[in-house]
């Protein structure tokens, strides 16, 4: 599992206490935490937040209840984009907010940014965890998915990362908020890499308005995203190759009424072809059954070569691409994804899945949505 220290190059940075004597800053090392190289030091983030005592060689005392503030964030941040909103009284008026492409130096500016995102997009914010990472520092991990409804194809933008929040020990309020995105290396404002990352996600993918297997995006890197899938049921039969269509008519026939009770089942997306061996030669073709169904209530297939199966879900890495998913393209994407996972220390399972979301006869190839998906042995956001 990739930790915060694996976001890109890292080092062990001391958590420090700053005191001032004769207008000189002294740093006392207390202990070490692994943190991203691009993260600013705690001293630089706190310097504007507090009045450092002069002539005192001991750390300034404070009665800040950091555990209480962590609990507050668990309750408050889920309201970031709903009608209730976050509690502005928890922030200093001169709070410094920075992400790779946005900066504000007041709480009113920060709230304006939230309102702008809420009006232009349809944001879905998920807080994964919050924990104290320094004397006056709390780190959160989150996922934010935003649908840009102003564009006809309604692209979905995904950002995951860390927020490093500094606490003013004098006011006991948040005085600094620094966002780090998992998908880029340069998180300093203004990051051209961050702007490019935004525009790349605006490209056209045609995703049919059909039910898909439910999953939550946990992490998005420059090369792939990690998802946690809920269990889902598929109807499947043998296929010939990952990019092939052999067997599709059989499983499609089942949901269109060629089953024991002639029940017609709503179509879903994507169509999966799954290989379970290292050579990617043992292939099955699968169509997902709508989530309201269970195995006991589904009609039996008319053909022996068709099976109903419940997949238990779990963690998976996915890479999205457009164009015609030929066998060479799919195998190249699988190889690149597997190399990226290995580089990031993630253990991939054998085989892979190709997810095809579109009818190839009715969709231009350059707007097709295809995905290569590899199941992971385990994953943790700690």
184 and 238, same structural domain? no
> Would you state the pLDDT for residue 46?
52
114 belongs to a structural domain: yes
232 and 136, same structural domain? no
328 and 259, same structural domain? yes
> Would you state the pLDDT for residue 151?
92
Give the pLDDT band (50/70/90) at residue 3: very low
**What is the domain-level CATH number for residue 303?**
3.20.80.10
Say if strands 156-168 and 173-181 run parallel, antiparallel, or are unpaired.
antiparallel
Q: Which of 115, 113, 119 is nearest to 149 (CA)?
A: 119
247 belongs to a structural domain: yes
271 belongs to a structural domain: yes
User: What burial class does residue 213 get, using C-beta atoms within 10 Å of its C-beta: 0-12 exposed, 13-18 middle, 19+ buried?
Assistant: buried
Query: Could you give the percent of the chain with pLDDT greater than 70?
Result: 84
Number of domains in the chain: 2
* Residue linked to tokens 């006056």: 136
Asked if the model's pLDDT at residue 53 lies above 50, the reply is no
328 and 193, same structural domain? no
234 belongs to a structural domain: yes
189 and 142, same structural domain? yes
The string of pLDDT tens digits covering residues 227-269 is 999 999 999 999 999 999 999 999 999 999 999 999 999 999 9
The string of pLDDT tens digits covering residues 154-213 is 999 999 999 999 999 999 999 999 999 999 999 999 999 999 999 999 999 999 999 999
> Would you state the pLDDT for residue 149?
87
117 and 235, same structural domain? no
Q: Which domain holds residue 135?
A: 66-202
**In terms of C-beta distances under 8 Å and separation of at least 24 residues, what long-range contacts does 330-336 make, across chains too?**
330/242, 330/243, 330/354, 330/372, 331/242, 331/280, 333/372, 334/280, 334/372, 334/374, 336/223
């Amino acid at each position: 599992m990739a930790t915060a220290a694996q976001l890109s190059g890292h080092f062990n940075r001391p958590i420090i206490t700053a005191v001032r004597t004769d207008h000189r800053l002294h740093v006392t090392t207390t202990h070490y935490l692994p943190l991203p190289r691009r993260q600013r030091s705690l001293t630089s983030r706190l310097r504007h937040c507090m009045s450092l005592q002069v002539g005192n060689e001991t750390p300034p005392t404070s009665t800040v209840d950091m555990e209480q503030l962590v609990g507050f964030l668990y309750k408050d941040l889920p309201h970031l984009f709903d009608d209730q909103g976050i509690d502005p009284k928890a922030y200093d008026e001169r709070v410094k907010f920075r992400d790779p492409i946005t900066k504000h130096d007041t709480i009113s500016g920060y709230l304006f940014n939230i309102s702008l995102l809420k009006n232009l997009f349809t944001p879905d914010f998920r807080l994964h965890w919050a924990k104290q990472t320094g004397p006056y520092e709390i780190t959160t991990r989150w996922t934010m998915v935003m649908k840009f409804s102003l564009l006809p194809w309604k692209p979905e933008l995904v950002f995951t990362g860390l927020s490093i929040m500094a606490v003013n020990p004098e006011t006991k309020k948040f005085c600094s908020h620094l966002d780090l995105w998992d998908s880029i290396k340069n998180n300093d404002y203004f990051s051209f890499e961050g702007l490019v990352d935004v525009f790349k996600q605006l490209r056209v993918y045609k995703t049919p308005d059909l039910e898909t297997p439910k999953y939550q995006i946990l992490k998005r890197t420059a090369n792939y995203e990690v998802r946690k899938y809920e269990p889902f049921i598929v109807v499947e039969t043998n296929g010939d190759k990952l990019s092939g269509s052999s067997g599709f008519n059989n499983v499609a026939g089942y949901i269109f009424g060629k089953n024991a009770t002639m029940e017609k089942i709503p179509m879903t997306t994507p169509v999966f072809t799954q290989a379970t061996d290292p050579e990617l030669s043992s292939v099955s073709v699968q169509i997902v059954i709508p989530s309201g169904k269970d195995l006991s209530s589904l009609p039996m297939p008319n053909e022996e070569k068709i099976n109903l199966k419940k997949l238990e879900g779990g963690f998976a890495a996915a890479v999205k691409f457009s164009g015609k998913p030929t066998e060479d393209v799919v195998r190249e994407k699988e190889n690149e994804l597997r190399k990226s996972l290995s580089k990031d220390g993630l253990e991939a399972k054998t085989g892979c899945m190709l997810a095809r979301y579109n009818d190839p006869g009715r969709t231009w190839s350059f707007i097709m949505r295809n995905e290569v998906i590899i199941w992971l042995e385990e994953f943790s956001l700690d």
